[in-house]
Amino acid sequence: MIYPIVKYGQPVLEKQAAAVTEFGTAELLKLIEDMFESMYAAKGVGLAAPQIGIGSRIAVIDVTSGEDPEQKLVLINPEIIDKQGSQTSEEGCLSIPTFREPVTRAQKVTIRAQKADGETYEMTGEDLLARAFLHETDHLNGTLYISHISPLKRDLIRRKIRKLQKANEWS
Active site residues per annotation: 136
Read out DSSP for 99-152?
A: --EEEEE-SEEEEEEE-TT--EEEEEEEHHHHHHHHHHHHHHTT--GGGGS-HH
Kindly state whether residue 132 participates in binding Ni ion, applying the rule CB under 5 A.
no
Residue number with CB closer to Ni ion (75 or 118): 75
Q: Of the candidates 59, 31, 52, 84, which has an alpha carbon nearest to the alpha carbon of residue 137? A: 59
Contact region for Ni ion (CB under 5 A) — 15-23, 62-70, 89-97, 163-171? Answer: 89-97
Cβ-closest residue to Ni ion? 93
* Of residues 31 and 93, the one with the C-beta less far from Ni ion: 93
Angle formed at CA 155 by CA 50 and CA 17, multiple of 5 degrees: 15
CB 83, min distance to Ni ion, A: 18
45 belongs to the binding site for Ni ion (CB under 5 A):
no
- Which helix H or strand E contains 58, and what residues bound it? strand 58-61
75 counts as binding Ni ion under rule CB under 5 A: no
Q: Give the Cα separation of 65 and 39 in Å (integer).
A: 9
Please, what is the minimum distance in Å from the beta carbon of residue 54 to Ni ion? 14
Residue 32 or 93 having the CB closest to Ni ion: 93
163: exposed, middle or buried (Cβ count in 10 Å: 0-12, 13-18, 19+): exposed
93 binds Ni ion (CB under 5 A): yes
Single out the segment in contact with Ni ion by CB under 5 A; choices: 5-13, 25-33, 92-100, 109-117: 92-100
Residues at the contact surface with Ni ion, assessed by CB under 5 A: 93
